[in-house]
Amino acid sequence: MKVLHDPLKAAIELREQLASETRRLLFFLGAGTSMAAGLPGILALTKQVSERLIEPQKSGFARLCGEIPNDPNVEMVLDRIRTLRDLIGENKNKEYDGFNRDDAQKLDAAICQAISACPQARTQRVGVPSNIRTVA
Q: What is the pLDDT of residues 79-107, one digit of tens each?
A: 999 999 999 988 888 988 889 999 999 99
Model confidence pLDDT, tens digit, residues 115-125: 888 765 444 44
DSSP 29-85: --TTHHHHTT---HHHHHHHHHHH--TTHHHHHHHHHHHS-SS--HHHHHHHHHHHH
CB 111 within 8 A of CB 53: yes
For residues 115 and 49, the answer to whether their CB atoms sit within 8 Å is yes
How many CB atoms within 10 Å of residue 118? 20
What is the number of H-type helices and E-type strands within the chain? Answer: 6, 2
Give yes or no for residue 77 having a pLDDT over 80. Answer: yes
Are 114 and 53 in contact by the 8 Å Cβ rule? The answer is: yes
pLDDT for residue 1: 60
Check whether 108 has a pLDDT greater than 70.
yes
Domain boundaries, the chain: 29-126
